[in-house]
Structure 1
Amino acid sequence: MTAAAFAETHEVKMLNKGETGSMVFEPAYVAAEPGDTVTFVSVDKGHNAEGIKGMLPDGVTPFKSKMSKDFSLVVEAEGLYGIKCTPHYGMGMVALIQVGEAVNLDAASAVKQRGKAKKRFVEIFAQVK
């Protein structure tokens, strides 16, 4: 059996209104393993998923999905992946994927955030193991 045979798919919904407020990814924190897939599901239109500069593990190519489209990201590198919805970033529409060990925790948590994203990331980073 290959590692891919054991890979999991994690679903993250892109929502106008969720359990934790408006303009959210649910869940906002995902614990994954290398080789897993994280699929961002466009439940409500007008959202996307984009990697935040400085909040991706070394060697990970920056990414930005199309608006209002589902997007799957295969996470290979260990570390933290900071995600934002481009138009709703200032409204706090952010998420964090932890793949294996949080090897880039210091760099990722040092990235300056704006608006409500700053407060949301404090809550999300509290879940990092």
Structure 2
Amino acid sequence: MVNIKSALLSVTLILALTFSAITIAQTHIIKSIGTAFNPIIVFAEPGDTITWINMPAHNTKSINGLIPQAAKPWQSQMGQDFSVTLEEEGIYLYECNPHLSFGMAGAIVVGEPKNLAELEKKVNYTHGAIQRVFRKTKEAIATTGQ
């Protein structure tokens, strides 16, 4: 006959081990302040959601060719808060279309920056604001040891 206490302990242990292996996705908030995104660089994990808020005269748009190859591009509506869930590992560079000339761009690093070398080759042919964000992203990656 199975001891009820032993059975409950076994079930509890199995559930604890199962749920400890599951990572809970996070939501990262990026706020537009004037003509800047804050924070300018976000570190996330695959499956995390990125939400842009306080977007009265802004949008967010992934930059063609400057996101992981298998990733889905996005473009929000002007003046609306927006969320996207990112699954592919790598660096995502994005901009606010009407304010890129003011330097309004940002980066999201999801998991490992697998496309760093590829972006290194492409970013030199982009707007100065994108180059600046990429340079800051590389520095942040070096600091975090990714």
TM-score, normalised to structure 2's length? 0.75
More helix by share: 2
Once residues 46 and 52 of structure 1 are traced to their aligned partners in structure 2, the CA distance between those partners, rounded to angstroms, is 19
Q: Which residue of 2 aligns with 1:59?
A: 70
Q: Which residue of 1 aligns with 2:138?
A: 125
Q: Which residue of 2 aligns with 1:37?
A: 49
Q: Are the counterparts in 1 of residues 59 and 76 from structure 2 also a CA contact under 8 Å? A: yes
Q: How many residues align?
A: 121
Distance 1:78 1:88, change over 3 A: same
SS for the counterpart of 1:61 is: coil
How is 1:18-97 mapped onto 2 (pairs within 5 angstroms)?
Answer: 23-41=35-53, 43-97=54-108
SS for the counterpart of 1:127 is: helix
Once residues 128 and 113 of structure 2 are traced to their aligned partners in structure 1, the CA distance between those partners, rounded to angstroms, is 25
Q: Which residue of 1 aligns with 2:5?
A: none
SS for the counterpart of 2:140 is: coil
Distance 1:100 1:45, change over 3 A: same
Q: Are the counterparts in 2 of residues 51 and 63 from structure 1 also a CA contact under 8 Å? A: yes
Range 57-66 or range 72-81, more displaced:
57-66
Amino acid at match of 1:35: G
> Once the two structures are aligned, what percentage of the paired residues are identical?
36
> How large is the Cα RMSD of the aligned pairs?
1.8
Amino acid at match of 2:64: K
Greater relative contact order, per chain length (Cα 8 Å cut-off, separation 6+): 1
Once residues 55 and 25 of structure 1 are traced to their aligned partners in structure 2, the CA distance between those partners, rounded to angstroms, is 18
Matched, 1:113 2:113: no
Once residues 125 and 93 of structure 1 are traced to their aligned partners in structure 2, the CA distance between those partners, rounded to angstroms, is 18
Q: Which residue of 2 aligns with 1:20?
A: none
Structure 2: gaps of 5 or more residues: 1-18
